[in-house]
Amino acid sequence: MADEALFQFLHNEVIQYIYKSSEHGEMENGRCITKLENMGFRVGQGLIERFTKDTARFKDELDVMKFICKDFWTCVFKKQIDNLRTNHQDNKFRLLTQLSAGKQYLEHAPKYLAFTCGLVRGGLSNLGVKSIVTAEVSVMPACKFQVMIQKM
């Protein structure tokens, strides 16, 4: 078992690193987000492989989504998703709670979500669901993840 603080610091460092390296290479914000997202994707793929070792085959996409909201999220962020509708919501997102509970750092929030978007997309992809995952924050530390499933 690793400690949560360690992951949070590492996550911060990863973001720092990606953004710092972009200063030299004239890389714009979008590229950084993509890079972070891709890292998350790879991690999500790996995680889902480990988590689903012993679970039964999923019936349909809803089943898969339920798994992501409950088991996957609990394993990763120690809580379930608060609200699953056509879109997803986490009212107290782990990686934002340390940051702010107001509007002050709103502009930096997307950096801290890209990795997780990738995580979800990677997880889904390994369960055979191709998707686009985006996140939006209106009030910290709540954020909404939107999963758009792409029909094959």
Partner 1 sequence: MSRQSNRTTDSKKMNAELFTLTYGALVTQLCKDYENDEEVNKQLDKMGYNIGVRLIEDFLARSSVGRCQDFRETADVIAKVAFKMYLGITPSVTNWSPAGDEFSLILESNPLVDFVELPDNHSSLVYSNLLCGVLRGALEMVQMAVEVKFSQDTLRGDNVTEIRMKFIKRMEENLPAGDEVHSRICVPC
- Does 59 interact with partner 1 (rule: CB under 8 A)? no
* Cβ–Cβ under 8 Å, residues 22 and 32: yes
Q: How far is CA 127 from CA 24, 69, 83, 133, 152, in A?
A: 38, 14, 21, 15, 14
- The pair of three-digit structure tokens given for residue 68, joined into one six-digit string: 């992501």
**Distance of closest approach, residue 42 Cβ to partner 1, in angstroms:** 5
**From the list 64, 65, 68, 76, which residue makes contact with partner 1 (rule: CB under 8 A)?**
76
* Cβ–Cβ under 8 Å, residues 138 and 103: no
- Does 46 interact with partner 1 (rule: CB under 8 A)? yes
DSSP 66: H
**From the list 37, 53, 66, 75, which residue makes contact with partner 1 (rule: CB under 8 A)?**
75
- Does 87 interact with partner 1 (rule: CB under 8 A)? no
Q: Which residues bind partner 1 (CB under 8 A)?
A: 1-7, 9-14, 16-18, 21, 35, 39-40, 42-43, 46-47, 50, 75-76, 78, 98-100, 104-105, 108, 115
